[in-house]
With several copies, the nearest count.
Chain A
Amino acid sequence: MSQNSKKLNMVQAINLALKEEMQRDSSVVILGEDVGRDGGVFRVTEDLLELFGDERVIDTPLAESVIVGAAIGMAAYGLKPVAEIQFMGFIYPTIDQIFSHASRIRNRTRGRFTCPMVVRTPYGVGIKAPDLHSESTEALFCHMPGVKVVVPSSPYNAKGLLISSIRDPDPVIFLESTRLYRLIKEDVPEGEYTVPLDKARIVQEGKDVTVIAWGSMLHRTLQAVEEFDAEVIDLMTLSPLDEETIFKSVKKTGRVVIVHEAPKTCGFGAELSATIAEDAMLYLKAPLIRVTGYDIVMPLPKLEDYYMPTVERIKKRIEEAMKY
């Protein structure tokens, strides 16, 4: 780990991770819409074109399926592509390539060809944007064996997780909360450090209730738990899941509240509840509670604040758990 660190926001931290990995390893290349000259619509890839040239920072045509599909071919050939999908709402046309190929090429060829690729995409409610600019459908990708799903919650872990993702031998979906991009600054060391892809993080210890969150919801959760003796877990990597950290906490607290932005039905909270209900049921004192988006089409900005779990809603449900 390096000596110097700077206060960076998440955009800057991710940019730094990309820059350092590209300096370290010439097989790392970036591709996507507007990632070059424009530096990305959120400026995450700013300056990288100037530093690394247009064969490594590739402005592609407007075509998501071939962005990911070409990344698969590049990865199999020996590069480490980092593809950007401009918003998570535009990742759907790539699902065929991700599910049919990226996740399977290792298995299909018994390891002869692999897919060390990262697909970065901004996710979630956050910038008062139109239709399909606020998606949070991480659960879809968690259902697909062969893919990993990573959601940083702070500039520090964003950098470390992205470096791990780039070096990972398998495809990683890397979700960046638009709400967090410029919300918080944090000390981020220069130089390489990694945050492992199979460990959740205890953000705060507590005895009465375990609250599990990731990405932008972590911050609302931290506000909501102020009046409780709550243990807060930031998953960071959703798939593969760090069950151990969860079980340990559940055994201690006996109460669980899960918070996510996606609609409730079949959100990743379902998997967490089910895992706990199957393997740690006997430690539970209270029902497993999910605080989530509603089972509706994500509304446009005028109503979006009603859609997302608010600090109030989270608090109320924690109180409910505490009644047992």
Chain B
Amino acid sequence: MPERIIESFNIKRLDILDENGNEDESLMPSLSDSEIKRIYELLILSRTFDHHALSLQREGRMGTYASILGQEASQIGSAFAIERSDWIFPSFREMGVYITMGYPIHMLFQYWSGDERGMKCPDDLNIFPLCVPVGTQVPHAVGAAMAVKYKKDKAAAICYFGDGGTSKGDFHEGFNMAGVFKLPVVFICQNNQWAISVPREKQTASKTLAQKAFAYGFEGIQVDGNDVFAVYKATKEALDKARDGNGPTFIECFTYRMSDHTTADDATRYRSKEEVEAWKARDPVPRLKLFMEGNGLWTGQYQKEVEEKSRDMIDEAVKMAESIEPQNPKDMFAYTYGKLTSRQLRQMRDF
């Protein structure tokens, strides 16, 4: 009875589309030309949204905002694999996911302006509201997946969080429960290398985040998070696996937060220009453009049209958001409980 090996693991990494727009054909997911164009248009639309949101914030027309710049492939690539019957549990940095799912864009502006009505998800979608306390959405996704399983629905839960989120107790408890009950849930970590000022290597000592899944008895994989094909493929397979009753998957999207943490942050305090520059070369958008160009799906004219259409859509959404009637102060009371309490009724007399 010597010292012996009783278990072994390998952690895999998936890359499909490189920085020059060249793909690994053997790994390419099956996507039609029009689907690829749709993905590209969503990348541009999301980036346009982001750009406008930052401007509005600077102009004082919107509150603190968390930019998605650089993470569009992780968000759109994964969301593009989601069905409308799936349930989505975002963190606070998934504007690309909301947009991909067709969430009304003016409501996103409305929300970021400090109006909770922006988080009243339309009835034909199941996206939970932005989750502010990091990691606390993981148990919700797990619970929804338990409900899916109990009801025998053909659906999956999908949960987003950041590298920082992997340190939280709720990440652990949620992952563990997902493993024990083999739940239909897909966990997507956008490892954007930073949690405000804390770099990934100070967040945890494990070499990858993906490997954390093995602690819970299911599979984790790292994908190039700036490669929309890799993200799409991994997510699609994981969601199919989940809906087929084969349990959870953890996907680490290896990406980068190109902007400050939020508009309240100044990233130059804690990270170098060089690092940011180096990541620029890995931008998810140009590489898809190059791929499409190489495959006859992209022209300068097309680019112009996509950009214009995006700008128009965003302008329109901003206009809509800003013309919505302000909330009545009494609305503060309306959604505390299903019914107003007698105390609240008395308090409302102030208005």
Query: Which residues on A are within 8 Å of B, measured CB to CB?
Result: 29, 33-34, 36-39, 41, 55-56, 58-63, 65-66, 68-79, 81, 89-90, 92-93, 96-97, 100-101, 105-114, 128-133, 145-146, 148, 168-170, 198, 240-241, 243-244, 264-265, 294-297, 299-304, 306-307, 313
Contacts and interface: CB of A to CB of B under 8 A. Distances in A.
Contacts of A114: 338
A107 B128 CA distance: 12
Nearest to B326: A302
Interface string B189-200: 000000111100
22 contacts: A34-B196, A55-B149, A56-B150, A63-B177, A70-B146, A70-B177, A73-B147, A93-B168, A97-B136, A101-B140, A105-B129, A106-B336, A108-B119, A129-B64, A146-B336, A148-B337, A169-B337, A296-B333, A299-B332, A301-B114, A303-B327, A306-B332
Interface in B158-174: 164-165, 167-170, 173-174
Nearest to A92: B133
B3 interface: no
Nearest to A239: B341
B120 A112 contact: yes
A63 B92 contact: no
A68 B140 CA distance: 9
Given A63-B177, A295-B347, A133 B132 contact: yes
Given A37-B270, A65-B169, A306-B351, A296 B139 contact: no
Interface in B115-131: 115-117, 119-121, 123, 128-130
Contact of B196 (A41, A63, A66, A296): A41
A69 B139 contact: yes
A288 B132 CA distance: 37
B138 interface: yes
A128 B114 contact: yes
Contacts of A265: 343
Given A69-B138, A73-B140, A73-B141, A302 B113 contact: yes
A96 B332 contact: no
A93 B170 CA distance: 9
